[in-house]
Structure 1
Amino acid sequence: MPQRRTVTSRSQEPRQRFAEEVRRLREERGVSLRQLAEQLGWDPSTLAKLERGQTLGSPEIARALDDYYGTPDLVLAMWELAVADPTQFKERYRRYMVLESEAVSLWHYAVANLPGLLQTPAYARELLGAGGLTGDDLEVQVEARTRRRGLLTADGAPRFRTILSEVVLRTPLRDAKSWRTQLEHLLDMGHRSNVFIQVLPQTAGLHGLSNTNTMFLRGVNARTVAWVETGYSGELVQEITAVEKLQLSYDSVRDLALSPDESRKFIERMSEECRAEQADVA
């Protein structure tokens, strides 16, 4: 087996080093982008973007390049370094947004906050404000998040399932009226044929996604990727084995959750409790 090679690129930025190495390997082999694309079965425009540093591609394409050049794990290792670089978070999130807009189905699990696709403007404003946004920046983000909700109501909308930890529903907005509006919005969305909302009771105990907000996105090519997010960062998971492991954890959580009908009744009770509290205050 060929020895793993040392990266000789002079660039110290992981993304640029990845692009330089991909380009160098092709030039050393003496093939054009089109010839390489024909050999690998990938779109030549995708390979061109890799070499220009415009995209990082996927682990599958990194492995395909390693197989073609006979460089065991070299390209894949550089891809992993580039993806792990904290400066790439914004690009990963932009990539996630593209995948979300193109998905035919989305499966979601929420640890502490409602998914953006189900947030009212008031909920989005308070949540984003708590994260440090203020003024015009805050309003721009609230407007962007509100527009995203149209994904679930447009013609040909994807199927969307979210499993909400009970903690999500036990963490109200400061304004009781706004919180009740949010709960009623959940009930309205839950009546749509493409939206399924389930509640995971606190009595379910610990599970494989206890501290991870997760969204699975299935594309038109039947391939599924996952977006895993904490309060401080997010990661786009594309490697097949890692995605399958997350899906097994998601399936286990789904088994523990209330059915959509039971969950609707749970949210209705919370809405009525909120209404009663408002009446008492009045």
Structure 2
Amino acid sequence: MVNIKEIDGSSNPRAFFGSEFRRLREAAGLTQAELGKLLYITGSYVGLFETGARWPKRRQDVEHMDVVLASDGHLTRVWEMATRTPYFPDYFQHQAKNEQMATKIEDFSATLVFGLLQTPDYARAVFRAGSPFLTEEEIDRRTATRMGRAKVLRTKDGTCGAQLWVIIHESVLRTPVGGPEVMRGQLLHLTQLIGTHRVVIQVLPFSAGAHALASGSVTLMELRDQPTVAYVEGPCAGQVLSDPAIVRRLRQSFDLVRAAALPPQESAALIDTLAREYRFTAFARAPRFPVPWRASSHSGPEGGNCVEVARDGGTVAVRDSKDPAGPVLTFGAAQWTAFVAFASARRP
């Protein structure tokens, strides 16, 4: 039998479902083990439902609970409410409220694009990678919740909401979360946000080397009529920090990283360049290419034409003509000019 602990049913809808499930079981005079037999599960699993550690995935299972407990559909109605309610992990509940009250949000992202800036496809890829056993319905629900958080960037009348200043490590932009097409869409979304003047984005380049926030990501929030708070998150938990000394220390570290990052205009140019690179990578995986490829005049004589080149605006892509579905190497305009000059100088 699972040890019974007090559940605060008001903390979130899922906890409320668990507390109601327990209340109905006790009203029926059943132990966890006895109810488990009627539901074809173990008593331990009943306890997990009651504490909120487990959640019934299927409506028909909840309807069966209502039948066994003679609760006239009450559990099903609570389950439906909880299913429709935006999903936040317990540790993120406080942070989600802070986001809604913030007048200014500053974030350094070391591993992923900041949640408020993610596209639906990028968010789905993140959830799928982190929780491979989630159903598509649950992934959609979590994605919808994450997209809903972005409303802090605008007010009800459509005007600019909270000010947002984000620093993203270059490695985040070069990690193909969800594949090249998803990443291209994500980077184009960042470019569009920059154009709205609601968001300032800086990129911390690889060339910056070690930096003041090398140990992880941090979010700083200026709240209405309250002191500034910080939020830090690890793989399985996050924490809101309000101690003034700690917040000042994180503020100093954030400012040091901001000073080492590329200026906003250069950052926007880099994001645009990387979006073009992802476009070519996506083309390499597609059966047809929307840009023409041509054989390079510098292919070696021993194997015939072995290098193909395609140009799209200021970006040049190079691939092996013998393996057109293989990897694509991309160059910016300046990089390509320098490469051709170097290759030409070395020709006999």
Normalized against structure 2, the TM-score is what?
0.54
Aligned: 1:250 with 2:254:
yes
- Taking the aligned partners of 1:98 and 1:202, their CA distance within structure 2 comes to 34
Query: Aligned residues: percent identity?
Result: 30
- Taking the aligned partners of 2:217 and 2:170, their CA distance within structure 1 comes to 14
User: For structure 2, which runs of at least 5 residues remain unmatched after alignment?
Assistant: 9-87, 289-348
Aligned: 1:148 with 2:152:
no
Give the secondary-structure state (helix, strand or coil) at the position aligned to 2:232: strand
The count of aligned residue pairs is 197
Q: Residue 98 of structure 1 aligns with which residue?
A: 97
Letter of the 2:150 partner, please give it.
Answer: R
State the Cα distance separating 1:211 from its structure 2 match. 2.4
Letter of the 1:102 partner, please give it.
Answer: M
- Taking the aligned partners of 2:186 and 2:210, their CA distance within structure 1 comes to 27
Residues 91 and 237 in structure 2, CA contact (< 8 A), matched pair in contact too: no
- Taking the aligned partners of 2:160 and 2:203, their CA distance within structure 1 comes to 26
Q: Residue 174 of structure 1 aligns with which residue?
A: 178
Q: Residue 48 of structure 1 aligns with which residue?
A: none
- Taking the aligned partners of 1:187 and 1:224, their CA distance within structure 2 comes to 28
> Per residue, is there more helix in 1 or in 2?
1
Aligned: 1:163 with 2:167:
yes
State the Cα distance separating 1:143 from its structure 2 match. 0.8
Higher RCO (Cα < 8 Å, 6 or more apart): 1
Residues 119 and 147 in structure 2, CA contact (< 8 A), matched pair in contact too: yes
- Taking the aligned partners of 2:144 and 2:89, their CA distance within structure 1 comes to 19
Q: Residue 228 of structure 2 aligns with which residue?
A: 224
- Structure with the greater alpha carbon radius of gyration: 2
State the Cα distance separating 1:217 from its structure 2 match. 0.7
Cα-Cα RMSD: 2.1
Letter of the 1:266 partner, please give it.
Answer: L
State the Cα distance separating 1:95 from its structure 2 match. 1.1
Seen in structure 2, the aligned counterparts of structure 1 residues 91 and 174 have a Cα distance that, compared at 3 Å, is closer
Normalized against structure 1, the TM-score is what?
0.66
Q: Deviations over 1:196-253 (max 9, x none)?
A: 0110001111122112111111011151000001222211110000000000000000
Query: Structure 1: which 4+ aligned runs deviate by more than 6 Å?
Result: none
User: For structure 1, which runs of at least 5 residues remain unmatched after alignment?
Assistant: 1-11, 16-88
Letter of the 1:100 partner, please give it.
Answer: E
- Taking the aligned partners of 2:130 and 2:282, their CA distance within structure 1 comes to 27
Aligned: 1:237 with 2:238:
no
Q: Deviations over 1:127-186 (max 9, x none)?
A: 011111511222210110111122213334110011001110011133322221111001
Q: Residue 118 of structure 1 aligns with which residue?
A: 117
1:272 to 267, 276, 280: 276
- Taking the aligned partners of 1:221 and 1:271, their CA distance within structure 2 comes to 40
Residues 122 and 178 in structure 2, CA contact (< 8 A), matched pair in contact too: no
Give the secondary-structure state (helix, strand or coil) at the position aligned to 2:196: coil
Q: Deviations over 1:89-139 (max 9, x none)?
A: 955421111111110000000011011101011100010111115112222
- Taking the aligned partners of 2:238 and 2:212, their CA distance within structure 1 comes to 17
1:12-91 map, 5 Å: 90-91=89-90
Q: Residue 213 of structure 1 aligns with which residue?
A: 217
